Amino acid sequence: MSQPKSNILELSVSQISQTLKRLVEDNFSYVRIRGEVSGYRGPHSSGHAYFSLKDEKARIDAVVWRGVFGKLRFKPEEGMEVIATGKLSTFPGSSRYQIIIEQLEPAGVGALMALLEARKKKLAAEGLFDADRKQALPYLPKVIGVITSPTGAVIRDIMHRINDRFPCHVVIWPVRVQGDACAAEVSNAIDGFNKLHIDASQNIANMPKPDLLIVARGGGSLEDLWGFNEEIVARAVAASDIPLISAIGHETDTTLIDFVSDKRAPTPTAAAEMAVPVKTDLVFTLDDQGLRLKHSLNRYIQHKSQILLATQRGLPKLNDLLMQPRQKLDHAILRLQGALKTGTAQKRNQFERLAGRLSSTSLLQNTRNLAQNIGQLALRLNQAANTMFERKNVQLINIGKLLNSYSYKGVLSRGFALVLGANGKSLKSVKQAKPGTALDIHLADGQFGAVVAGANAKLDKPPKKPKKAAKSKIKPDNGQGNLFE
């Protein structure tokens, strides 16, 4: 038996999914949902964040797009109770509905306190709160860096208190102390102060590096002070090489920066009091210490003087010390006089014995020995002189031969010729031998005259009789001619 046909409209899966999507988005375009963050693992590689919101009975998927995630004042954390504001939508690919979050905030003070406690435990486990890593504050800083809002009562209170106690150079780094940008600006200011050079002339900002930092803000609610509970601020304080005082809120207010800082002040005014001493108290203390030092020094000198006098009384007198050495000196003088007389007599006796040994015969024999020695020395000297003369004569002959080989006659004997012009001077270039010029040619065994032929002259014709060559002007030098004149 066949079933009756239905009048219900057939829809595809995609059509029904799109219909549901429009229905949900049109009816829940803006909602606020309170729940606990579950399954949060940080933003995806795309920059989007995916997690769930749950309570004791239900769960809803949540997504934060990348552009919204970077603007969130409070970032989601696992187990954090939040209030999410956004719109509902569906994900057709898996037939699920979800909330697209546009704003996220902790669900009341209790959620913020729970988040703060979780961060405290995390940073404490890393050792950021340890006492052994905290730095001592300088007793008298030359430059103090203050990180706070440039307007308001906080900076005025700090400046007024510092000027009253001990005026010094104060550098203000203006930041926002509330809102989304607070944490980033405060951490950047701490890092910026640490990167300054000690010498102001060496840094771009032309600002001296502080010896001490103060991070200050007036009182406010937990939400107002939340920027000082962010991890980036706590880690910037922990990494600071400059000692830092935190002065956030009133005495009852506590933030993460207070646990990491080197010193916590209950108020900004108290931070200024911690930063510098009272100048008048310091002057009074120095005067008092100087006076005490003076009295102590006087007492010390008196005490040492008494010890010196007591020691002096126990020492023997100078005359007593010198009496025995003087007596020894007198005895030594007496012994010396007797020793001189005895020694003189002994030397006189020795001289007389030696004088008795001398005679004319011994003197004559000594004279003959001396003459014989002188004769032998003269003979050896004569032989040495002859040897030296012979060696020098041979050297002189060799030098004469060498000099003769270097003379122009020696050069002629090796086949060269000396050509002289009509003026008796030697020719050094063919340009000096013009056609018709009479020449005087010297060879090793004699000389003869010649005339320079022209360019078209025939060699088989005898040359004309040359003119009488001019008398050579070469002057011999001890039988040695000169080839180069």
What would the pLDDT profile of 329-341 be if each residue is shown by its tens digit? 888 888 888 888 8
Would you state the pLDDT for residue 469?
A: 47
Q: What is the mean pLDDT of residues 455-473?
A: 50
Q: How far apart are CA 350 and CA 345, in angstroms?
A: 9
Of 184-198, 237-251, 345-359, which gets the smallest average pLDDT? 345-359
Would you state the pLDDT for residue 485?
A: 45
124 half-sphere exposure, CB direction, 13 A CA radius:
9
Residue 240 has pLDDT above 50, yes or no: yes
Of 214, 190, 212, nearest to 269 by C-alpha is 214
pLDDT band at residue 4 under the 50/70/90 scheme: low
Cβ-Cβ contacts under 8 Å for 110 (sequence gap 6 or more): 81
Residue whose tokens read 């000594």: 366
Would you state the pLDDT for residue 205?
A: 62
Per residue in 392-451, pLDDT tens?
A: 888 888 888 787 777 777 777 777 788 888 787 888 788 878 888 888 888 878 888 888
Strands (DSSP E) found in 143-280: 143-148, 169-174, 212-217, 244-248, 263-264
N- to C-terminal Cα distance for the chain? 155
Residue 461 has pLDDT above 60, yes or no: no
Per residue in 254-263, pLDDT tens?
A: 889 999 999 9
pLDDT band at residue 455 under the 50/70/90 scheme: low
Q: Which CATH superfamily is domain 13-107 in?
A: Nucleic acid-binding proteins (2.40.50.140)
Percent of the residues in the chain that have a pLDDT greater than 90, as a whole number:
29
The answer to whether the 13-107 and 141-277 domains have the same CATH topology is: no
Q: How far apart are CA 299 and CA 313, in angstroms?
A: 21
Whether the model clears a pTM of 0.75, i.e. scores above it, the answer is no
Is the CATH code 3.40.50.2000 the one for domain 141-277?
A: no
Question: How do the domains of the chain map onto residue ranges?
Answer: 13-107, 141-277, 286-312, 399-485
List the strands of the sheet with 244-248, edge to edge.
Answer: 169-174, 143-148, 212-217, 244-248, 263-264
Q: What is the mean pLDDT of residues 305-321?
A: 82
pLDDT band at residue 202 under the 50/70/90 scheme: low
Residue whose tokens read 């005679």: 359
Would you state the pLDDT for residue 168?
A: 92
Per-position b or e across 188-218, b if 16+ CB within 10 A of its CB: bbbeebbebeeeeeeeeeebbbbbbbbbbbb
